[in-house]
Copies of this chain bind each other. A is one copy, B any other.
Amino acid sequence: MHGEIIAIGDELVSGKVLNTTASFAANKLFTAGCQVTRITSIGDNPDDIEECLLAAIKRSRYVIITGGLGPTTDDITNEVTSKALGRPQVLNEMILEKIRRAKQRSANSVFLREKLAWLPEGAEVLNPEGRAAGYLLIHQDIPLFFLPGVPKELEDHLINRVIPMLNRFVSEKIYIRQQTFKVFGLSETEINSLFEKLESSQDGLSIGYYPNFPEVNVTATVKGRDSGKVAEIFHMACNTIEQLLGRHVVAVNQETLEEVVGRLLLEKGGVLSLSESCTGGLVSQRVTSIPGSSGWFEGGVITYSNKSKEDFLGVSSKTLSLYGAVSSRAAMEMADGVKGLAGTGYSLAITGVAGPSGGTTQKPVGTVYIALSTPKRTVAERFQFTGTRHMIQILAAETALDELRLHLSYGTYFHCNRPA
């Protein structure tokens, strides 16, 4: 069941916007057994859209068209489709009624142009309750899915409508099982060499690696016609992968590292506080992005200057003058300070040189001290990261959260004390 994606928008072909939605859709379709063989990005140009659409219908078993369904003048997908397929635009009364009702509630009527209600003849609205009018058109037996380009709306349509509907068109059921392992601390090449023998040994198993900085995502996919055999190979593969990657797996599937840390803290009844310098709030922001994090996160401080390290946390001026703000001692005093202030059992502190300036011979750009404080002790370790300012901040935040994860799971404190 091979298909293709046509993504419409001047912003895509001028390179102003990355085509992330097409990539997301391709990935979901691949996992669902409806592989995409071509992704075409074209501008808001009627001739290009028409040519692309007609060629895709001839070539593919299904087509997904994204973008150009909105209310503005450059949104021309419906109009061009009508002309290309010889299907006049028909006023969809249901959408029109929704627009009218919404207009009564909202003064902001420019959002709600009647234009949105004119669809090519034969269009079946995919989500009658939703806001965006994605629709299905079956033309010459080929299902054409017209979806809004806005990532959130596309995602919703794709998962809840398109993929279940595509299964209607599949003659033979293919079973697919997939799991993603989020790995930190090993490069793609290192993972690849660990796995060399795994893939070829298993029927229907494929392993994908893709970097999702600072993590590498490893995906195990098993496809086949026999559901029992697929499940068997899948479980065997997952077990082997878990053994090979060990503690480097920070999370699995949709879960994130910060969610894992939150879950582990809740299990232990522990509460976290944070003191960030060079990461400037990045760890706090990751933690508080999780609904319910108030159950295990008390608060934090961002001590971006020496003065704020003293004033907010009571880091001693002697430590700052003798060892500097970027030091093991300062990191530990920051961790102890915020733990005392917030009255929590756990704290993390991060202080370093994110760059681009501020580096010295002893402490070049990328030098970061991370302190972990638990109910038992406070320990700090020095790390040397490389990359841009932003990359160093991301690596420091990930490392801090990961050290807390390792401590909560295995009782370790950084590499020096980590059991083999």
Contact = CB atoms under 8 A, between A and B. Distances in A.
Nearest to A188: B72
A276 B301 CA distance: 10
Given A10-B208, A19-B23, A289-B280, A304 B298 contact: yes
Nearest to A273: B308
Interface residues of A, number: 98
A20 to B, nearest CB: 6
A201 to B, nearest CB: 14
A174 interface: no
Contact of A342 (B17, B192, B289, B308): B308
Given A36-B15, A393-B289, A302 B301 contact: yes
A61 to B, nearest CB: 14
A226 interface: no
A30 interface: yes
Interface string A289-309: 101111001111111110110
24 contacts: A12-B23, A13-B26, A13-B38, A13-B39, A15-B29, A16-B217, A16-B219, A19-B39, A38-B41, A72-B188, A74-B208, A108-B187, A110-B193, A279-B288, A280-B287, A281-B282, A289-B389, A289-B390, A289-B393, A293-B304, A299-B312, A301-B301, A307-B343, A311-B343
Given A13-B36, A15-B23, A281-B283, A299 B302 contact: yes
A175 interface: no
Interface stretch (A42-50, A93-101, A403-411): A42-50
Given A27-B16, A40-B38, A294-B304, A285 B289 contact: no
A71 to B, nearest CB: 5
Given A28-B15, A37-B13, A110-B190, A284 B302 contact: yes
Contacts of A196: 73
Contacts of A18: 18-20, 23
Contacts of A243: none
Nearest to A390: B289
A63 to B, nearest CB: 14
A38 B27 contact: no
A249 interface: no
B42 A41 contact: no
Nearest to A17: B210
A8 to B, nearest CB: 11
